[in-house]
Structure 1
Amino acid sequence: MNRLIYLDYAATTPVDPDVIAQMVQCLGMDGIFGNPASKSHYYGWHAGQLVDRARQQIANLIHAQAKEIIWTSGATESNNLALKGIAQSDLSKGKHIITSQIEHKAILDTCHELEQQGFEVTYLQPEPETGIIHPEMVRDAIRSDTLLVSLMMVNNELGTITDIAAIGEITHAHGIYFHVDAAQAAGKIAIDVDAMHVDLMSFSGHKVYGPKGIGALYMRTRPDLKLKAQIHGGGHELGCRSGTLAPHQIVGMGAAFALAKQYLHAEQLRLSVLREKLLHGLEKLTSIHLNGHATQHVANYLNVSFSADNAARIIQSIKQVAAVSSGSACNSNLAGSSHVLASLGRSTTLAENTIRFSFGKCSSEAEIDMLLVAIVENKGIPFITFD
């Protein structure tokens, strides 16, 4: 069976070979396999040292302190811990939360759960077509009882960037906690949690060429910021998240974030060339609608809706040669079109004829050429040069 061109890096990334090598060293008897919580022997000490180093590697990418990093099983758990932990820590601070209609389901479903517990949630509608959440939208939604604002930095379907720094200025001025889902932003855009006035930030290892099953939550050091633990049993991770730490996964995530910091800018420049090549190639072939902002985006994603009469055939031809997505991988088992595209004002027909292309380390211009040629051949139209 021929391997498909992989263009679904937003769903998950392959683990970097250098990351794998470091993880393997934490598995066997000859490696550093101990329980970091075991403080009475060197097996535990060595494991603890690696965990601390990885904590610092996460902190380095976002200009934080290592002690502000809490390990979790992934961004979904980090999001749950941030929102539920804040909401349930002190009910006297207010019961109003602001988020948006185009957040990841880990945020939306958590907000729906909190609504069942008596909280009120304002779901901001993004700017049509672009998916931008403007700072003034947040400012206008703030109430006297607003406890928390939670927004993603880079939308997982569109690649659109939210102006987190500007929104952080607003939340900071009002004394409101600010949580940011940065699962799709880490390693793609510069992050400075202090400059952006972010209090909580969620990360995932497997979106940054690290292993699955590991994530982190940044929690700013401030006296009034406390989280109610959602997993109990041992009081690990500052009492916020109990459970034995997995050094091999943590080391993998730390190594991946260190590599991401090193190559961030160069990789964005390289991928921007691929994105523009594919976008212009598709525009030559057929009628498409760009979903997301034309300039305020990371280079890794291209989300387009096909509007020609033969849209279904074009999409079929793409899926015959490339692994792509129709939306978020977390929504793939749900019926119906993307909630993100619906919030942008896209019709059901356009939303159903949409593909999210996402690029990564192994993506190349040759692969883009192969994809475009395959579309031409399957459409039965004359060959076009895509230079």
Structure 2
Amino acid sequence: MKTAYIYLENGVFFQAKSFGAEGTQVGEVVFNTSMTGYQEIITDPSYAGQFVTFTMPEIGIVGANPQDNERETTHCKGIFVRKYQDFHSNFRSKESLSSFLKSQNIMGICEIDTRGLTKMLREEGAMMAIVSTQISSKEELAKTLASSSRIEEINYIQEVSLKNQKTHTQGTFCFESFDFQTPATNKTIIAIDFGAKDNILNELVQAGLNTIVKPYSFQADEIIALFDEGKIQGVFLSNGPGDPMVLSKEVEQIKKLIDKKIPIFGICLGHQLLSIAHGYPTEKLKFGHHGGNHPVKDLKTGAVQITAQNHNYSVTEAIKEVAEVTHINLFDGTIEGVKYKHSPIFSVQYHPEASPGPKDSTQLFREFAQML
């Protein structure tokens, strides 16, 4: 393994080992508390522009396989792990994690104190960093980092969104046959791809929805015309990376859909964009929510669901003026779900499709289908 050099914007500098792609990358460092599913996390487009620190100390033993990818192309900058295990032992494994990362040009950094790094991020907040297998000088790394764009200044959805419209027909993975299902569909929706995980689209299809996926650069007038003609019954707004407040063009298009009172379901970034389109800006959390073990309370039923989450931004309490808060996070009390008072629109901050994570909330996809 080559030596890797890491410099954080708070001035911390340390050395580690590299087991992924070589080179120099700049990104935001966050931590993820999931115990399993590292491949799904790495291939989640919402991590575009970020280094993911895994709190799980041993990573790599189950290798990698094509079925667990959430997108074909990976967009995170790299991963930090305490100990990398190159020997992979799983009947579904096709290659080592190291081989997978190199094929995707993603950095893999190991032999660092991820517990200490996680504590630092928890206390000081998510921060920018530069990682290199080429530059060893602390001063040069600091200079390069200072001159690089911050994550909130970059529109990453331009990179992660699909380029052309497609129809998604694949349902969820069936563990009995180790294949994906193709259920019958009876309603048609437009899914806007801001960086949608494949399993979100799978769950929409599984709920009985014919899912037409459009790029982030969608035109609301085209969707409204399809709705008026009865060719579609609703719209889904996906998850995605980056700061939602920079997506002014997308917000303007969403406003048109809201005014038309088209049924809409939003997840994660889609949840945040709906709030902004209603006139209520989001705020950045100190270190975000990233993991597969976040308790969320359904305020209507009182039930507590364990959820998968991946976001740095949050809808604020001001949204209560136009929406009913339906779910809250039991870790910090932040808003996790809303239902708008005067429109057929609801959204959640967490990931009901999981992958990885618990499946406690998959009924939300069926609720969307029933609403249509």
User: Could you say which TM-score interval applies, normalised by the shorter chain?
Assistant: under 0.3
Structure richer in strand, relative to its length: 2
Q: Which structure ranks higher in relative contact order (CA pairs < 8 Å, sequence separation ≥ 6)?
A: 1
| TM-score of the pair, normalised by structure 1 | 0.25
Structure richer in helix, relative to its length: 1
| TM-score of the pair, normalised by structure 2 | 0.25
